[in-house]
Amino acid sequence: MTSRVQIVETVTLLVGLKLRFFWDNDSLSALLALELKADLLVLLSDVDGLYSGPPSDPQSRLIHTYIKEKHQSEITFGDKSRVGRGGMTAKVKASIHASEAGIPVIITSGYAAENITKVIQGQRIGTLFHKDAYKWAPVKEVDAREMAVAARNCSRRLQFNILILSLITSHALSSEERKQVLLKIADALEAHEKEIRIENEADVVAAQQEGYEKSLVARLDGLILEKTSSPLGVLLIVFESRPDALVQVTTEAIPDTVGGKFIGLVTSSWKLPTIIFQLDDVIDLVIPRGSNKLVSQIKSSTKIPVLGHADGICHVYVDKFANTEMARRIVLDAKIDYPAGCNAMETLLVHKDLVDKGWLNDIIVNLRTEGVTLYGGPKASSLLNIPQAHSLHHEYSLLACIVEIVDDLHAAIDHINLYGRHVTLYFGHTDSVVTQDQEVADVFLCQIDSAAVFHNASTRFSDGARFRLGAEVGIRTSRIHARGPVGVDGLLTTRWILKGSGQVVDGDKAKIHLTHHEERSD
């Protein structure tokens, strides 16, 4: 252990050296840490640590772990410290020098008296410099959108892996198999109990120091808990050329006891009065029934949740294993039966093998005979000598559609997931695969992220009446809260009703006894 005499002698020597060779305390501190073979060097600053740019710039972010190969060329230093001589530039140089020599360094704010204690406790504050940092931190910091896209891709792969497992085993997981999966998860949690507890305690300490209230987990004791369904509340239904939309949602068969103003009718021109869309304190949901233009206008005019959809870009993919006569009937029905419908086919994807077999030419003749105007994707336009579509994401809503050739099933899936969804939170509307290969169908049904996905059926079946919903109150292509054709049950939400006899939480000391009732409607 270094004696006090040695420390005093070293400090005296270094102070003398500072007068001759050093211009800042940071480089002196680094040299002192090296001489004393310190376990850790803490450099205090007037900011929380090293930032990617000037700390005053809102775009700058705190760098928790400095990686020389990554950050050396990225960092832009701001003004010098208000209280020191060298500023952050000097601190970084001193930190790099000390860390490369084996002394870990942390730069943190000196304005918080507890920061040194936090550092000693191992909490993640400030910026860490360490010679092995490049081994720990990822080379690339992923932004929020990249994380979200990666999560979605992983979700699709997970769905696909579950599908493959089902195909291999020829059955879904049994209750016992699901139980074994849960038991394995429990075993893994118990095996890592120590690490989990350490991390959890660190999170709790951090939350307390940040001033957060301690989370309370409410547990029930001898109570009856019911999950019930109840109406969403006040609905605003807007229709431009669909008067049947009103009677699909409600009729005159309303009891007198609910009041004569249960239903109100607002008449106006197509340009809707903006005042009604500002009533978010009394209206719970807007249901637009009409064109995509109407839906978009309403969404941009209100804070009230809107049950609507964007473009109805419906695809039909004809696989190489399709029954060609069945495929012909499905394609013609999907496009010709009612072209103005949002469930009409707008893009026909054809497997490349069907080009050589002549089926593609046959269906082109059939479509043109019915008066359909054809546009091509990059491959089909040159091969078939038809005009190239200005966009592969377009809802024609008339006798027109896009034709494109794909190499295989996965190319068709990628095309649909890319061009089928809207740039906002809306996903695909309805997409269909025509094939006699059950494995191809299963993969398609699993990986297409649309509100409705069909196998060997026309997209025109995507309809509330055909789904036997009783009535179609709307169509929704986003995930929340209902999706696809929405019936009356899509206008319900849930409530919790709890019945007790004086029970209190009391620190969750009592044993838990739960009684569950089947869900009922109010």
Do 81 and 87 form a contact (C-beta atoms < 8 A)? Answer: yes
pLDDT band at 124 (very low <50, low <70, confident <90, very high): confident
Residue 21 has pLDDT above 50, yes or no: no
297-310, pLDDT tens digit by residue? 787 788 888 877 66
Q: What is the pLDDT of residue 431?
A: 93
The domain in which residue 318 lies consists of: 314-472
Q: What is the pLDDT of residue 74?
A: 62
Number of domains the chain contains? 5
For residue 486, is it within any domain? no
**DSSP three-state, residue 140:** coil
234-284, pLDDT tens digit by residue? 878 777 655 555 556 556 444 454 445 556 666 655 455 567 777 888 788
Greater model confidence, 305 or 19: 305
Do 295 and 244 form a contact (C-beta atoms < 8 A)? Answer: no
Greater model confidence, 76 or 28: 28
Q: At what angle do helices 359-369 and 324-336 cross, to 10 degrees?
A: 30
* Extended strands (E) in 204-325: 223-231, 235-239, 285-289, 314-318
For residue 488, is it within any domain? no
User: In sequence order, what are the beta bridge partners of 432?
Assistant: 316, 454
Q: At what angle do helices 25-35 and 87-100 cross, to 10 degrees?
A: 20
For residue 215, is it within any domain? no
Q: What angle do CA 156, 157, 159 make, to 5 degrees?
A: 65
For residue 216, is it within any domain? no
In terms of domains, do 287 and 303 share one? yes
CA dist 33 and 41 (Å) reads 7
List the one residue out of 112, 108, 140, 103 whose CA is nearest residue 127: 108
pLDDT band at 498 (very low <50, low <70, confident <90, very high): confident
Count helices and strands (H / E) in the chain: 17, 18
CA dist 338 and 200 (Å) reads 58
List the one residue out of 353, 409, 400, 411 whose CA is nearest residue 378: 411
CA dist 59 and 48 (Å) reads 15
In terms of domains, do 327 and 460 share one? yes
Q: What is the pLDDT of residue 248?
A: 60
In terms of domains, do 96 and 26 share one? yes
Give the residue from 104, 136, 168 where a domain finishes: 136
For residue 218, is it within any domain? no
User: In sequence order, what are the beta bridge partners of 316?
Assistant: 348, 432
In terms of domains, do 31 and 154 share one? no
Q: What is the pLDDT of residue 213?
A: 53
Average pLDDT in the 444-457 region? 89
Highest mean pLDDT among 12-21, 187-196, 324-333, 445-454: 324-333
Q: What is the pLDDT of residue 278?
A: 79
pLDDT band at 142 (very low <50, low <70, confident <90, very high): very low
In terms of domains, do 319 and 466 share one? yes
Q: What is the pLDDT of residue 199?
A: 76
Q: What is the pLDDT of residue 387?
A: 95
Give the residue from 175, 209, 243 where a domain finishes: 209
CA dist 361 and 357 (Å) reads 9
DSSP 418-450: HHSS-SSS--EEEEEEE-S-HHHHHHHHHH--E
What CATH number does the domain containing 93 carry? 3.40.1160.10
Do 349 and 394 form a contact (C-beta atoms < 8 A)? Answer: no
Give the residue from 309, 330, 351 where a domain finishes: 309
Q: Which residue has the tokens 């091969």?
A: 383
**DSSP three-state, residue 291:** coil
Highest mean pLDDT among 173-177, 211-215, 518-522: 173-177
In terms of domains, do 278 and 181 share one? no
**Residue length of the chain:** 522
Kindly report the pTM of this predicted structure.
0.52
In terms of domains, do 237 and 347 share one? no
